[in-house]
Amino acid sequence: MTAQQPNPARLTREFFNRNTVVVARALLGQRLVRLLDDQRLSGLICETEAYGGPEDQASHAYRRTPRSAIMYGPPGYAYVYFIYGMHFCLNVVTEAEGRAGAVLIRSILPQEGIALMRGHRPGVSDGQLTNGPGKLCRALRITDALNGLDLTTSPVLFLEAGPSIPDTQVIITPRIGVRGDSEARLRPWRFVWQPAPLAAGLE
DNA sequence: CTCTCGATGCGCT
DNA sequence: GCGCATCGAGAGA
């Protein structure tokens, strides 16, 4: 008999080996999966932001430093950084090796392992579980220990193909919290899957 | 070495 | 809407 796909297809290197803004849009609807003690914690990506290279003042890769070096590396790797003394943010490296780029995962719609996510985010209502870059990292237990993982092969953190999202359901806005020059501030590089119940302000 | 401040979240007003 | 927690990366001295 024909073997049915027992598991959804994992996103490949080629998926990430594209223009960063294209990947940011294409990531909407894809499933982010975290494996913790054989338990699947997952959610559909519903908000992303693209960050470029030396031409993008808002990007960590605006300057090439030890921390941002991974953004200049091959696509498909996780870039997790620590911010504000207490939060982590998850990015996916894009573009061919030598060309800097990454997509910040800002929000997901919880799908599997919701009870575990609640445990990681005590005192928080379900709607606020993963609707922010720091929040989803906390809910999925993503820390800098996962920085540099190959998302196309890692058993503990990866992306699976999800439903495709039509343009009519996508809102595009400038990025949140960007303070570079006006060009960096105004770039329409934030993508939001509109039907998703988001607390983040939609403009 | 020292200083600044951030791709944030939360609680209180 | 506003302040604060909390600390490492990066820059300047």
Measured CA to C1', the nucleotide nearest A67 is C9
Q: Return the SS3 of A107.
A: strand
Q: Residue A198's pLDDT band (boundaries 50, 70, 90)?
A: very low
- Residue A142 above 50 pLDDT? yes
Instruction: Read off the DSSP letter of residue A149.
Output: -
Asked if residue A173 lies in contact with residue A196, where contact means CB atoms within 8 angstroms, the answer is: no
- Exposed / middle / buried, residue A118 (Cβ in 10 Å: 0-12, 13-18, 19+): middle
pTM, two decimal places: 0.93
A122-142: b or e for each residue (b if 16 or more CB lie within 10 Å)? eeeeeeebbbbbbbbbbbbbb
A67 touches strand C (CB under 7 A): yes
Summary mean pLDDT of chain A:
93
Asked if residue A105 lies in contact with residue A97, where contact means CB atoms within 8 angstroms, the answer is: no
Distance A142 CA to B1 C1' (A): 32
Q: Tell me how far apart the terminal alpha carbons of chain A are, to the nearest angstrom.
A: 51
A66 touches strand C (CB under 7 A): yes
Strand B, nucleotides < 7 Å from a protein CB: these are: 6-11
Identify which has the larger pLDDT, A30 or A179. Answer: A30
Q: Residue A196's pLDDT band (boundaries 50, 70, 90)?
A: low
Quote the CA–CA distance of A44 and A30 in Å, as a whole number.
Answer: 5
- Residue A63 above 70 pLDDT? yes
Quote the CA–CA distance of A72 and A85 in Å, as a whole number.
Answer: 25
- Residue A23 above 90 pLDDT? yes
Kindly state the tokens that stand for A164: 């495709």
Measured CA to C1', the nucleotide nearest A106 is B7
